[in-house]
């Protein structure tokens, strides 16, 4: 069996190659030695580091784990172990569609925390805690999320945003770990309805320079739920004007409804649904549909309310959310039984027409398909079913702009306009939604 100390020529050579970034060379050198039974920690250390750098985190994890088992006092292996453990055992559970074994995941994180207990600020230790907290929040276990977040000192977290270029060659900016910490904590308090704590953590986040829209939204909601209703409502309205995020309109609608302002609540809820249906944030879509249904039913418009119930059933079933018997019966009364295939496109058309009427928009509702989007431009053209070409701006598309492509079927409000630059009449498509 080959063994090497830190001062051996072999390990010194590995160290030099590692500094030069020649990880392929290290892997070629160490692989046969390791396969022949080498178990010394320094050889394994450089092997694991190189495997991590080249993306073979599964093998790096196995090697680092074996070294930790055979040399528990060899602290240098902790960093490559934490990295590979995070990549192999924890990060995959971040995918939105995954349903992790939470007990197994927590056991993995506990083992990771024990190994790194002398390094409380180790990067992938805190990354693992944040990842576990986010998963607990996703599974509505706010107490567990808060328990783990208490292990983190936020001032040791990275404040830099994560930036990368997507497939469309556009820069995408993600939250920093610092922002995630405050965001997860505020979300957990919101879930627990501990509004005083939510208020405090949001105020602290803002003082520390966090400007995330969700923090600002939860600050406003905390004020609403701690007696400062008008102040919180005004902040939500201002936020909706600045960010134009449709889900904030649902918050405003619910607050207005609670204050007895049914007309205002209906207007905000319908506007939010027109922008949000077909996108993400299903929780808000469900809340908006339920609220509009309540308001319509309160004024005797039971058939229109049932249409909203029918679409709520569709959203709930498509996302694995529970559906009450009462909601199912209401959907069935509108001609959309919960357990049968239904014309959801037709239902959405009915709802859009109804929403246009509620908002007092009298322009004709049309259907068509996107025909052209010039490269690099923020506008395009729709060929209507009536044969007319309609000009549109991306800002009028009430969905994720990344979905825009030729052939996409849409419904929209057609309106005659005027181009003051080219001094000519135009036919525009407004309030565009995917069919």
Task: Say what the alpha-carbon torsion angle 9, 15, 18, 20 is, to the nearest 10 degrees.
Answer: -80
Q: What is the pLDDT of residue 86?
A: 82
Q: What is the pLDDT of residue 367?
A: 87
Say what the pTM is. Answer: 0.69
Q: Report all structural domains of the chain as residue ranges with CATH numbers, in order of start.
A: 9-152 (1.25.40.10), 365-434 (2.40.50.140)
Which stretches of the chain drop beneath a pLDDT of 50?
1-4, 96, 420-421
Q: What is the pLDDT of residue 4?
A: 47
Q: What is the pLDDT of residue 1?
A: 41
Q: What is the pLDDT of residue 17?
A: 92
Q: What is the pLDDT of residue 2?
A: 46
* Contact of 82 with 124, CB cutoff 8 Å: yes
207-220: burial string, b at 16+ Cβ within 10 Å, e else: eeebebebbbbbbb
Q: What is the pLDDT of residue 255?
A: 94
Please state, rounded to an integer, the average pLDDT across all residues of the chain: 85
Q: What is the pLDDT of residue 39?
A: 77
* Contact of 270 with 293, CB cutoff 8 Å: no
Burial class (CB in 10 A: 0-12, 13-18, 19+), 285: buried
């Amino acid at each position: 069996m080959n063994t090497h100390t830190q001062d051996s020529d072999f390990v010194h050579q590995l160290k030099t190659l590692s500094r030069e970034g020649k990880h392929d060379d290290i892997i070629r050198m160490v692989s046969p030695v390791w396969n022949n039974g080498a178990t010394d920690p320094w050889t394994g250390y450089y092997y694991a580091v190189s495997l991590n750098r080249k993306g073979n985190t599964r093998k790096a994890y196995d090697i680092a784990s074996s070294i930790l088992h055979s040399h528990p006092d060899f602290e240098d292996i902790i960093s490559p172990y934490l990295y590979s453990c995070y990549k192999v055992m924890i990060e995959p559970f971040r995918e939105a569609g995954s349903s992790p074994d939470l007990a197994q995941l927590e056991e993995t994180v506990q083992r990771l925390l024990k190994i790194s207990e002398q390094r409380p600020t180790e990067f992938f230790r805190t990354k693992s805690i944040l990842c576990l907290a986010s998963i607990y929040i996703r599974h509505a276990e706010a107490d567990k999320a808060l328990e783990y977040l208490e292990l983190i000192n936020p001032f040791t977290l990275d404040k830099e945003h994560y930036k990368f270029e997507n497939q469309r060659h556009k820069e995408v900016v993600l939250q920093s770990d610092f922002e995630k910490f405050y965001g997860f904590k505020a979300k957990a308090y919101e879930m627990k309805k501990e509004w005083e704590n939510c208020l405090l953590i949001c105020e602290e986040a803002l003082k520390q320079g966090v400007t995330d829209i969700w923090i600002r939204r939860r600050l406003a909601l905390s004020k609403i739920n701690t007696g400062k209703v008008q102040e919180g409502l005004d902040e939500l309205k201002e936020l909706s004007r600045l960010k134009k995020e449709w889900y904030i309109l649902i918050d405003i609608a619910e607050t207005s409804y609670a204050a007895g302002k049914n007309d205002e609540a209906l207007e905000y809820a319908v506007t939010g649904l027109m922008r949000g249906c077909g996108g993400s944030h299903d929780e808000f879509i469900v809340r908006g549909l339920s609220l509009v249904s309540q308001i319509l039913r309160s004024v005797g418009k039971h058939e229109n309310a049932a249409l909203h119930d029918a679409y709520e059933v569709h959203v709930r079933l498509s996302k694995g959310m529970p559906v009450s018997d009462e909601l199912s019966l209401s959907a069935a009364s509108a001609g959309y039984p919960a357990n049968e295939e239904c014309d959801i496109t037709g239902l959405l058309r009915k709802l859009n027409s109804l929403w246009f009427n509620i908002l007092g928009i009298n322009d004709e509702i049309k259907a068509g398909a996107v025909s052209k989007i010039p490269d690099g431009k923020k506008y395009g053209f729709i060929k209507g079913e009536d044969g007319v070409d309609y000009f549109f701006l991306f800002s009028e598309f009430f969905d994720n702009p990344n979905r825009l492509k030729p052939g996409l079927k849409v419904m929209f409000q057609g309106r005659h306009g005027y181009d003051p630059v080219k001094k000519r009449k135009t036919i525009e498509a407004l309030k565009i939604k995917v069919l």
